[in-house]
Amino acid sequence: MTTMKGPTTAQQILDIWGKKPLDFEPGAEWQYSNTNFVIAGRIVEVVSGENYWEFLEQHIFRPLGMKSVWNSDQQELTQADATPYYRHALGLLRVAPKEGQGWMFAAGELAMTPHDLALWDESLLSRSILSSESYKTMFTEVKLKNGEGTHYGLGVEVRDRDGHRSIEHGGEVSGFVSENEVLIDDDAAVVVFTNQDAVDAAGSIAHLAAPFVAGYPLTAPEQQALDIYHGLQHGRIDRSQLAPNLSDYFSAEAIADFQLSLAPLGEPLSLRQTHTELRGGMTFRGFEIVYPGRRLELTTYTYPDGKLEQYLIAPAE
């Protein structure tokens, strides 16, 4: 917004937004709020009696050897750093404007190399900076008064990725989007930085890479779907896995079309199940097949006896 091109202070941000009427009673709902991080940063300063940035340097950056960290709220990035971009609709990429000083306080001023963010991730995996109780609290999903989960702990998203705990968070400032995903039970993490705002590339790349970094095995339905996919790329289908209707569907013409269109694509980067539901006594599963610059959608229906009633592939919208 226009006012963000000029300078501000944490107190001015709190005076404008922190004193607005509540949208809901505390604990009744959950919404992400940058202003809450500004409040948290000010609490650190008041309790410690130190400047927020100096506190971070003393207690986090130096102990972890994070030497590249830069306060982009107070100083512009150097010419050696990536250029930030934005675009209008599908137009040309344009250099993104810089926010005025003070706007990113405690909510988005940290600039660093992927290596140094990975050092922070290592500290989360080893729980080396805070007390064990603090990490437990940090990684625990906050519940609403009605018992519903928020998928949020203390400053981090708390997710379940195919049965694996993920502590993650994205970040966005003018011209930059980042994604940081720490697979807390797998001793692995994924850091992705991108230099264009208002795009989801960082999150998409992180979520695509995480299963491979952590070495997640394919589930039985994923392995079955991939095996059939490979067979169709070579013009064959194992009919013992098919219910009669699907066996009829895979005529010589259908198999030839599958092979003609899929074989040139080669080996996909990934095939992962995205959702499942029950319908008509069958289990519906949706899968995403990812190639560089292309995604396919695979849908199946499976009977309780394991036979497939549907196996369809289409471009992902």
Strand partners, 284: 277, 301
Tell me what pLDDT residue 206 has.
92
User: DSSP 3-state assignment of 28?
Assistant: coil
User: Which two three-digit tokens encode residue 212?
Assistant: 């491979």
Q: Is the CATH code 3.10.450.590 the one for domain 220-315? A: yes
**In whole numbers, what is the pLDDT of the chain averaged over residues?**
95
Q: What is the pLDDT of residues 8-60, one digit of tens each?
A: 999 999 999 888 999 999 999 999 999 999 999 999 999 999 999 999 999 99
pLDDT at 317 over 80: no
* CATH number belonging to domain 2-214: 3.40.710.10
Tell me what pLDDT residue 280 has.
92
HSE-CB of 87 using CA atoms within 13 angstroms: 8
User: Which two three-digit tokens encode residue 237?
Assistant: 């289908």
CA distance 173 to 194: 11
CA distance 224 to 273: 11
User: Which two three-digit tokens encode residue 29?
Assistant: 């709902």
User: Which two three-digit tokens encode residue 118?
Assistant: 């990975």
Tell me what pLDDT residue 13 has.
95
CB 134 within 8 A of CB 151: no
CA distances from 313 to 76, 243, 259 (A): 47, 18, 12
Q: What is the pLDDT of residues 269-291, one digit of tens each?
A: 999 998 999 999 999 999 999 99
Tell me what pLDDT residue 86 has.
97
Sorting pLDDT into bands at 50, 70 and 90, what band is 215? Answer: confident
User: Which two three-digit tokens encode residue 65?
Assistant: 């050897």
Percent with pLDDT over 90 in the chain? 91
pLDDT at 162 over 80: no
How much is the average pLDDT of 60-69? Answer: 97
Enumerate the domain spans of the chain. 2-214, 220-315
Q: Please state the pTM of the whole predicted model.
A: 0.82
In the numeric block, the tokens 């130190």 are attached to: 50
> Taking Cα atoms as reference points, which of 121, 151, 294, 127 lies closest to residue 213?
121
CB 131 within 8 A of CB 180: no
Tell me what pLDDT residue 265 has.
97
CB 60 within 8 A of CB 129: yes
Tell me what pLDDT residue 152 has.
97
Q: What is the pLDDT of residues 220-275, one digit of tens each?
A: 999 999 999 999 999 999 999 999 999 999 999 999 999 999 999 999 999 999 89
> Taking Cα atoms as reference points, which of 38, 115, 104, 32 lies closest to residue 74?
104
CB 142 within 8 A of CB 151: no
> Taking Cα atoms as reference points, which of 218, 219, 238 lies closest to residue 228?
238
